[in-house]
Amino acid sequence: MSILKSWSQKFLFTDFYQLTMSQVYFDYNIHEIEVQFDYFFRSYPNYGSHQAGFCIFAGLETFFEWLSQAKPEKQEIEFLKNLKNNSLKPLFKKNFLTWLKNIEFSTLNIEAIPEGKVVHPHVPIVSIKGPFALAQIIETPLLNILNYQTLIATKAARIKEAAKGQIVMDFGLRRAQGFGGNAGTRGAIIGGVDFSSNTGTCFCLGLTPKGTHAHSLVQAFIALGYSEEEAFWAFAKTFPDSCILLIDTINTLESGLPNAIKTFKKLKTLGKNPIGIRIDSGDLAYLAVQCYKELKKAGFEDCVIVLSNQLDELVIHQILTQIEQEAQEYNLNPKEIISKLVFGVGTRLITSAGSCSLDGVYKLTGVKTKNSWQPALKISDSPAKTLIPGDKKTYRLIDTRGKAMADLICLNKEHPLDKEKFTIFHPQDSKIFRILNKKDILKADLLQKPIQQNGKIVYEFPSLIEIKKQREQDLKELDQGVRRLINPHIYHVSLSEKLCHLREKLIKNYRNKTLTVKHSLD
């Protein structure tokens, strides 16, 4: 079977050790004990010269699409059955494989923060409760899907912020990592991209694809004995109502722009209005100013100017800053020029250039023994890797200005506003804390929502339009300092007093080795 045929929808879209661990759980009859895993990330993307101060969560619906289709198929079980160990004996046992082929991921209870919401380090984004082996097996696909789409959605949100409300188009498919480009496009749309050239994903998502034309169109016509102007006219005649011409094949200002203006004048005689031009090389800010000046002089000041070529949030910020300075030298209003810009962003968006992965992790935080949940803890020499244990809820505290002031992680039955005053603690250092007054807090929004409970999906997945609105609302609630492109202000993620004390107690117990072994594995 070709790996390109629905490979990502299969049950075996996972790491091998998820299956070998599950065999161990099965052998010791702990495969069906109830456990809790939390998905979260430890740090924002750092792009080197600039850093993110927030992330945008994406990928949840895609993960559930995988979950609903990932029933082990006969050929997958047969593949596992034929695997041998170093003694040439079957690696997996028959009774385990019999159990495996009958598993149902619908038995997992799942809560999650909705897609499109701003998320921060250490906050549980997805919490999964259910049989140990099932919760273990889904780790890899969950991380694969959520980490990448969240990474790209975050990059897209920063790019959209830098563009100051101007249209942003995703041109990244050709530079994406294989079919991951489809997931990347979805993440980009959630993050703020307005349109994409990825036609297949637009079809799947119910969107309208957008694009212009390549240099090869002009090159081909010239090679066949025609001129650049004739190449432009051929494109314009074919697409008279959506004509955007790429003008930098020969010389942007001396050839491409004059020929584009001539073509636009011909379209006018046909009663058609040209859409605009695209520039894919050179000093994009300078060229945008010069092109706008000439287009305005020719009566085409309403034409858009699409800029592309290795754009990201910092480059777009620099382009706009340069335009604001240079436009005045030509007695032009920089706001008029900027209002005509469209940004085609490709490689640096779809690959999240500078920060190629999100350090999202999936960790065991609780085990159910008899009728009660026991918190589970992982201790590390690195404080950032010491887990926040137990069954938890996260509240976003909104101050009286309507701004998010902190994400507070609490134990499941806590509510932060039950007291007039309460103390919140740094997630890694219990010596760092703040005392908050209830009167200074407008509301406490519970972030996680039930998604799958008792074998059923209990959540209505929102449309992309609704997800984008959620992102816009969450970003409005962030202080401008947190949204800065460079050296953003640190947003506070904190622990409640009870949760902080629980973790400190567990750490002390672990280090003193006071925990007793209740069961023998012999």
293 vs 295: CA distance, rounded Å: 6
Q: Are 342 and 167 in contact (CB under 8 A)?
A: yes
492 vs 295: CA distance, rounded Å: 48
The share of the chain scoring above pLDDT 90, in percent, equals 88
Task: Name every residue whose Cβ is closer than 8 Å to that of residue 260 and which is 6 or more positions away in sequence.
Answer: 232, 245, 247, 277
**Apex 126 CA angle, 423 and 363, nearest 5:** 85
219 vs 221: CA distance, rounded Å: 6
**pLDDT tens column, 134-189:** 999 999 999 999 999 999 999 999 999 999 999 999 999 999 999 899 999 999 99
Instruction: Name the DSSP letter for residue 494.
Output: E
pLDDT of amino acid 521:
43
E strands of 47-137, at which residues? 55-56, 109-112, 118-119, 126-131
Q: Tell the residue number behind the tokens 């059955």, with chain if given.
A: 81
pLDDT of amino acid 6:
56
- Cα torsion 132, 133, 139, 141: sign: negative
> Which residues are bridge partners to 128 per DSSP?
37, 110
Residue 352 CA to chain centroid, in angstroms? 10
445 vs 454: CA distance, rounded Å: 25
pLDDT of amino acid 165:
93
pTM of the model: 0.94
**pLDDT tens column, 395-436:** 999 999 999 999 999 999 899 999 999 999 999 888 999 999
> Which amino acid is present at 404?
A
pLDDT of amino acid 9:
67
Q: Which two tokens stand for residue 419?
A: 């007291």
Helices (H) and strands (E) in the chain, counts: 18, 21
pLDDT of amino acid 8:
64
Task: Name every residue whose Cβ is closer than 8 Å to that of residue 305 and which is 6 or more positions away in sequence.
Answer: 276, 277, 278, 279, 288, 291, 292, 295, 337, 340, 341, 342
pLDDT of amino acid 514:
47
Q: Which two tokens stand for residue 58?
A: 């994406």
> In this structure, what are the phi and psi dihedrals at residue 240, rounded to the nearest 5 degrees?
-65, -20
pLDDT of amino acid 404:
98
pLDDT of amino acid 384:
66
Q: Are 413 and 419 in contact (CB under 8 A)?
A: no
DSSP string across 453-493:
ETTEE-S-PPPHHHHHHHHHHHHHTS-HHHH-SSSPPPPPE
The parts of the chain modelled with pLDDT lower than 70 are: 1-9, 379-384, 513-522
185 vs 431: CA distance, rounded Å: 43
Burial class (CB in 10 A: 0-12, 13-18, 19+), 21: middle
